[in-house]
Amino acid sequence: MAIEGHNALNNIEIIMKVLKFGGTSVGSVESLQNVKSIVESQAEPTIVVVSALGGVTNQLIEMTRMALDHNEAYASTLEQVRQRHLDIIERLIDADKQSQCRAVVEQFIENLRSFYQTLCINSDLDATFVKRVSDAIVCHGEIMSSAIVAALIAGATPHYSPSFIKTTDGPQGTVLAADLTRRLIQEQLGSLDERCMVLQGFIAQDADASYATTLGRGGSDFTAALVAAALHASCLEIWTDVDGFMTADPRTHPDATVIPTMTYAQAQAMCDAGAKVIYPPTLAPVAALDIPVWVKNTFNPTATGTVIRG
């Protein structure tokens, strides 16, 4: 039975942690090999939250634009997306799981094809319908990447985030249904005795009407924080492509250095000022429970990284 902050595994109270891997971390064969070894070497049970393969969310959005412009060139981008996923499956997934994993990806590519066809061949579509279809499309990036990561990690089981990450539509747009989400995470994941659960970041579902929604661009960090907070995880690890939270964006400031320790307030201030390394809404749910957040580099896993705490 799950008890506050702990998951029961074989009748032993074991603390669980949440690891989130961003787009670059799941974007290539080499980085996915690192993801596999990072997760499989964890001593305690883990919940792994994944983004879409790096660049795929942008491609899905771009294809939506093309289809709405009645530009059939979306089909060649879709074929690139398909080939990229299938290539990773062929190179990384064990032979006994390959055909099932390939079939899953092919099915989602077919779903995408029919969504894009609908947008491409019809004119004067209702704006709400276009918004719903666009959101359903963009969710496919995380759905496909999570199928691959779940097949890649030994003993991992896939879970579907929209069954517990719920949103509502208010005057300001889509907002998280926070209490419902926390309760559903606890009900659906809190009592499972699983060594490693893999779920999609970013994607969600409307609490009343069940249509696809998202937590906003970069929202996978937020999904991971919501799960970590609801289950009182021992820590949240944000695995990305830099050695930690840095004094500035290293892409524009090559002299930036890693900040070893930060308070939630310091990190929040930098995120609010545009430090893309953590999506701004992420810190509040974990800070409220004093759950430490680590920022670590998938491409340099032995680097200490940054710890953010109270």
Q: Which residues bind ligand ADP (CB under 6 A)?
A: 22-25, 51, 218, 240-242, 245-246, 248-251, 270, 275-277
**CA nearest neighbour of 93 among 108, 78, 104:** 104
Residue type, position 101, single letter: C
150-162 CB burial, b ≥16 within 10 A, e <16? bbbbeebeebebb
CA distance 173 to 89: 37
Q: Does 218 bind Mg ion (CB under 5 A)?
A: yes
Residue nearest to ligand ASP (CB): 220
Q: Which of 201, 281, 285, 292 contacts ligand ASP by CB under 6 A?
A: 201
Establish if 280 lies at the interface with ligand ASP (CB under 6 A). Answer: no
Question: Site mask, ligand ASP, residues 28-57, x = CB under 6 A?
Answer: -----------------------xx----x
Question: What is the nearest approach in angstroms of ligand ASP to the Cβ of residue 205?
Answer: 16
Which of 177, 242 has the CB closer to Mg ion? 242
Near ligand ASP by CB under 6 A: residue from 16, 23, 38, 227: 23
> Do strands 293-297 and 166-170 pair parallel, antiparallel, or not at all (unpaired)?
unpaired
Asked whether the beta carbons of 90 and 148 are under 8 A apart, the reply is no
**Residue 217 near which of Mg ion, ligand ADP, ligand ASP, none (CB within 5-8 Å, type-dependent):** ligand ASP
For the chain, list the strands marked E by DSSP. Answer: 7-9, 12-14, 17-21, 46-50, 156-158, 166-170, 173-176, 196-200, 203-206, 212-214, 236-240, 261-263, 293-297, 306-309
Residues that bind ligand ASP (CB under 6 A): 22-23, 51-52, 57, 141, 201-202, 217-220
